[in-house]
Every structure is written in C-alpha cells, then in structure tokens.
Structure 1
Amino acid sequence: MTTTAPHPSAGAQPRLSGLESRDVSAWFGSHKVLERVSLTMAAGEVTALIGPSGCGKSTFLRILNRMHEMVRSAQLAGEVLLDGEDIYEHGRRPAEVRRRIGMVFQRPNPFPAMSIADNVASGLKLAGIKVSKDYREHLIEDSLRQAGLWNEVSSRLGTPGGSLSGGQQQRLCIARSLAVEPDILLMDEPCSALDPTSTRRVEETIAELRGRLTIVIVTHNMQQAQRVSQSCAFFLATHDTPGRIVEAGPTEQLFTDPADQRTADYVNGRFG
C-alpha cells in the first residue's frame, strides 16, 4: 500500500508515542538470551540500555521493531506495545511496524554510490510512501536539518553518500530514518565507530530530537548514557542465566543512588 503527496503527516505536529515491553523473553534456537524483560520507554524521552557485552541489549533493541524475527532460529515470548497495541499481534505488517519504529545501526550504512539526497529519500521508497517532488525536496532538507547535517551538505546534495566522513554518514543514516517520520528511533551504539567530534555531533542531534520522538539507545559509554538519556535500564547476564534487567529508572538515580549493588559496580567501572 502507498500514500500519495502530501506526506501523511505533512504540516501536522508530531504525535509522541510510548513503547513498552512486557515479560519479553527471547531465544536463538534452544539458547535463551533474554528473560522476562519488562520496560517502559516514555514518549518523547531518551532511554539508554546499558550493560556488559552479551547481556542481550542489542537483541532487545531488535525485538522492539520486529527485526529479531528475521533470524531464522529466533523465537519470542511476551508483548511489545506501541501506544498500547502489541506490534506482534497477528495481522500487523512488519514493514509498517518498522516504518513507525526506525533503526540506526552501530556502523553507518548509507548507500555509498547513491547521492546524499537520494539516500535520505530512499527510506520513503522502501516504506512505499509516495510524495510530490516539491514535498520530497522539503522532506530531504527537513530531515537533514533534524539530523544536524544540512549546513554541511546543502551545497552538494548530488554527491555520493559514501564521500562523507564516518560521522556525517551516521547522521545521514539518522536523516534517512527520520524521513519516514517514525514515532520511535532505535539506536544501536551509534557512536561506537566515531571519533570524539563526530560523537559530540550525534549526541547534539539526539538532544535536538528529544521531545519530537521517542529514542531508545544502546551504549557502552557510561558518560554518554548520562549525557543523552533521561531513563536508563541496566541489563546483566551470567554464563548460566539469560539477560535480564537488574534495575531501571531515571538516569540520574541509576548513576548516583542505584538500588542494586551490581548496578553501582557496573556504572562505576568495577566490571564490564
């Protein structure tokens, strides 16, 4: 199914949506990787997922927009609610879920030979959204502005996306996700491959987007979690138990007055 110009939400104020997981468990084959994860990700806020490698953070993130099911051996139990409705409900189209819940990956993945402008607009094509030429141009500019990239690329929109620096490519991918006007933006360690300057610019973009949409970010950088998020969830797994949430709540509380000693040990760098 496609929409025609203008874009469905053209001229409309963003509608803030919340996301909630209820007793989510996950497996790859017979290997259980997550155990009964329940988490509320408040509308218009940034929620950071922290914890050591291998505790299920990225798996949980992919569950939030139905990418988990793309792995042949993957299985899932529990619910993921977008505005109170289960995204895994029978009859719901995964493509529509992924339009509303976008994803930015750990490493920038623009189409390298495609122009900067076409990279941004490619999200529309993949989502089956048709817009007028004029609105397409508006959307490209608006998305690049939201991603903090417009001033750097406005004079060379026809050049390949692969000609940009790593940090610019990551912001281009953010712009591509924003072009389809998602309600939620998932970010899987978006700065792990970037230099400090590019990291700062991506964090500035996250701060600008806060309040316009809901963001869930996986990060191993404790300072980054403190800088960008309002809420935080600490995941932990052991060699014989699957990943689960040890503690979740306001970011400041988790870092200054955690309820669980394991949380205190992790955020203070005693392990992980």
Structure 2
Amino acid sequence: MTDQTTQTETTLPLPLAAAVPGVSGATLEARRISAWFGDHKVLDRVSLTMPAGLVTALIGPSGCGKSTFLRILNRMHELVASASLAGEVLVDGQDIYAAGQRLTEARRKIGMVFQKPNPFPAMSIYDNVTSGLKLTGIRMRGDAKDDLVEECLAKAGLWKEVRDRLRQPGGALSGGQQQRLCIARSLAVRPQVLLMDEPCSALDPTSTRRIEETIRELAHEVTIVIVTHNMQQAARVSDQCAFFLAEQNTPGAIVEHGPTAMMFASPSDPRTSDYVEGRFG
C-alpha cells in the first residue's frame, strides 16, 4: 500500500525476541501503519512486532488509536466506508493486505473477540462454536465436530459449565460465559492469532479472572493481542506492552513498547510512567 504521509517516522526500540520455542501461533508484525477516517488521520506510522507465544497488551488513554490498530490487524478497518490505511500487516512474513490475499483467509488466521460478547443468541451453544466452520469453508463429520466443540469449550474454560446443555441457546448464558463462548467460537477455525478488544470491560471480577486465566492458558497455542484500559490486567496477563498516545490533536502513535515488567517498573519515557501510575488517562 502507498503511504500517504511525509511525516518523520517514530523511532522505536528493537522488537522483543522472535517467537517462543515450542509454541504454536504466528508472529504478527505491523510495519509503518497509518490510518485515516476520511481526511482525519488517527494513526501515524505505527510499527510493532507481536511474537508467537507471548501476550501483547495495547495500552493508552481513550482516543489514541488502540482499537483502530487492532481492527487493522485483521482487516476490519476497511469495513468503514471512509477508512483508509497505509503500511503492512504480516503474519509469519506474509502481508495480509497484499494483492491476491483473500479477506476470509485473513479472518480465519486472525480471530477477534469484541468488547461486548456477541454470540448468536438464538443459536445453540454447540452451533455457536461451529458457526465459523461454514463461513470459512471447513467441513467436518459429526464425531470430529463433537470433539472440536468439546476441545474449544474446554480451552475457553467453559466446557464443564455447559457440557450438559450444548443444545440450549447461547444467549441464555451469563455475560462472562457468553464471552468465553465467543472465544471458543474463534478458536474453532484454528486461528494463528487472537485479537481481544477490552474483552473484560463489561464483566464482573469472577468472570474477568476466568477470562484472564484463559488468555494465559491459550498463549502457547495462539498469539494474543489485547486492548485494555485496566493496568492491573495488563500487568497480570501480558508479556509485552505497547503504550499508545495521541497528543494535542496529533495522530496516535506508540510512545514506547517492551517487556511488561520493564514498562511498569522502569519505562524510558515519563509519559508512560505517568499513564501506568494513573496520573492521566
């Protein structure tokens, strides 16, 4: 894609080491991502490596472009009529925006869990989990499909709670259960990356804890990128953080990124310290 900006690119620290040995998932890399809604520029040349085997948290105040960046990572940004972007998004070195790359394949590789749980309310729990198979052209026989449903619900920490009512509507579950059902649905198409946009913001503390446990358990199977405004959550679940900021009507950009422990204990930029310690945002 052609870059539409002539501004100086922000210099960022070197990315963390490549994928952790012995894990599944894929390394996700954003290169010089800029984004617009009409003439309004919302992101300016954002580059970030999100290695397999690690959980990456995107932090920063509202309006700094975190969710826009997340949606760019699986080609949801282009669904907005006025939206445009420049840069590259690579999954194990392959640009999902390159000519000839199919949208359905990008969505299969890179799943999304939204802020508000969005199961199909009238569809059964079982059918919710398997709904993505038809959309992505994956065919499975009955027994294999049964095994897949159990596997994905177990990975999402929901199997023991719903195994005796798989044919009941997904909309009858609690909010926290619905969010875990959405995670199971995303896992069913075997994604390499799972994006999460504030997945716990509407949940009670118990449901939040279960979602966080699920994130940590899944990290060795699928690359996870999470947007969160909860600094305690970022500290608990992530291995690396990227701090986004948009100052004085400028587009959002990454101030700094690095290992979570370093970002919270000894960030290199005072703005990061101010944010993680709650002095603004």
Deviations 1:122-167 (A, max 9, x none): 0111212111111110000000000000000000001000110000
User: Which residue number in structure 2 is paired with residue 41 of structure 1?
Assistant: 50
Residue 106 (structure 1) aligned to one of 112, 115, 118: 115
Structure 1 residues 181-238: Cα deviation after superposition (integer angstroms, max 9, x where no partner): 1000000000000000000000010011011110000000000000000000000002
In structure 2, the residue matched to 1:3 is none
Is 1:164 matched up with 2:173?
Answer: yes
Q: Name 1:52's counterpart in structure 2.
A: 61
| 1:82-112 CA-partner distances (Å, limit 9, x unpaired) | 1011110001001100000000000000000
Could you tell me whether the CA contact under 8 Å between 2:24 and 2:220 is conserved in 1? Answer: no
Give the match for residue 6 of structure 2: none
2:125 is equivalent to residue 116 of structure 1: yes
Residues 22-73 of structure 1: per-residue CA shift (max 9 Å, x gap): 1100000000000000000011110000000000000000000000011111
**Structure 2 residue corresponding to 1:199, chosen from 191, 201, 208:** 208
Instruction: Determine if contact 2:121/2:171 at 8 Å carries over to the other structure.
Output: yes
- The runs of at least 4 aligned residues of structure 1 exceeding 2 Å deviation read 13-16
- The structure-2 alpha-carbon separation of the partners of 1:136 and 1:34, relative to structure 1 and needing over 3 Å to count, comes to same
Supply the AA of the counterpart residue of 1:243: G
> Which residue does the alignment assign to 2:183?
174
> Secondary structure of 1:242's partner?
coil
User: For this pair of structures, how many residues does the alignment match?
Assistant: 260
Residue type at the aligned position of 2:44: E
Secondary structure of the 1:238 match is coil
Kept in 1, the 8 Å contact 2:23–2:53? The answer is no
Q: Alpha-carbon deviation of 1:80?
A: 0.7
Equivalent position to 2:150, from 141, 148, 151: 141
Structure 2 unaligned residues grouped into runs of 5+: 1-21
Q: Give, in angstroms, the shift of residue 14 of structure 1.
A: 7.0
Superposition TM-score, scaled by structure 2 size: 0.91
Q: What residue ranges of structure 1 are gaps of 5+ in the alignment?
A: 1-12
Question: Counterpart of 2:218?
Answer: 209
- SS of the residue corresponding to residue 252 of structure 2 reads strand
Distance 1:253 1:169 in 2: 34
User: What is the alpha-carbon distance in structure 2 between the residues aligned to residue 127 and residue 71 of structure 1?
Assistant: 22
1:225 to 227, 230, 234: 234
Residue equivalent to 1:74: 83
Are 2:34 and 2:85, in contact at CA under 8 Å, matched by a contact in 1?
yes
Give 1:240's aligned residue: 249
Report the alpha carbon displacement of residue 74 of structure 1 after superposing the two structures with TM: 0.6
SS in 2 for 1:78: strand
- Provide the C-alpha distance between the structure 2 equivalents of 1:209 and 1:160, rounded to a whole number of angstroms: 25
In 2, Cα distance between the equivalents of 1:57 and 1:146? 27
Letter aligned with residue 23 of structure 1: R
**Contact kept? 2:228, 2:234, Cα under 8 Å:** yes
Structure 1 counterpart of 2:241, which letter? Answer: C
Structure 2: distance between partners of 1:106 and 1:256: 28
Distance 2:23 2:230 in 1: 30
Q: TM-score, normalised by structure 1?
A: 0.94
Match of 1:130 among 120, 136, 139: 139
Name the residue aligned to 1:252: 261
- Distance in 1, matches of 2:164 and 2:25, equals 33
Aligned partner letter, 2:195: L
CA 1:32–1:234 in structure 2 vs 1: closer, same or farther (change >3 Å)? same
Distance 2:260 2:163 in 1: 36
What RMSD over aligned residues (CA atoms) do the two structures have, in Å? 0.9
